[in-house]
Amino acid sequence: MTTTIAVNPWIKYPHPNPQARLRLFCLPYAGAGASIFNAWPNNLPPDVEVCPIQLPGRESRLKEAPFTQILLLAQTLVSVLRPHLNIPFAFFGHSMGSLLSFEVTRQLRRQNAPIPVHLFVASRRAPQVLASTPPMHLLPEPAFIEKVRLVNGTSEAILQNPKWMQLFLPILRADLELCETYTYTPEAPLNCPISAFGGYQDGVVSQDEIAAWSVQTCSSFTLRMFSGNHFFLHSARVPLLQAISQDLIPFL
């Protein structure tokens, strides 16, 4: 039995679970907030407490400035998370969240702090793989919006709404800057298992780029692909969570 620590602005608990035996911290893709994980507790084992991370600059933290440097954000997250690592935990990150969860894990290791029992990454090329396309975050607005449209992650209703775009674009630009200015520094592989997920119809990242995560662990590595595009975590949510549940069973 454990007791959930009092929440703070960084960590959301859609379904608080004081009896949890494991916490799953979920880190969103660029432009997204913690709410994308609200339905996840319904499809995970009852012993898992889903803890979405709410980054500054969106949803309940809309008035705060978003981070634009991933290492600074990772260091900040480590200090936020440390009091919540009193039971076994895992990280799930989607796209930007994958890269962030990886760097948070490495920062925890540098501090000799607990590291996740399992790292789940999705829709993101491995950190050591260089980008194959030019950066987006400095594009002029018309070209930037067109690139966003092509990724299929933002509804046309939002893209056509000037008021919503005025709020959304700065967040997305900051998140993309965070990813596109990242420089990988080689370190020893992690000693936790890594499961990597991708969408067969993803036009942003290839299966080979996702498979390259295998070199980042000296433990087990699993690659699973699902039907869907870069944002398959929505269209294939149930089978994705079944896969995550399967990988968490040994730790429950």
Q: Look up residue 202 and give its two tokens.
A: 């993803």
> What amino acid positions are annotated as catalytic residues?
95
Task: Measure CA 95 to chain center.
Answer: 6
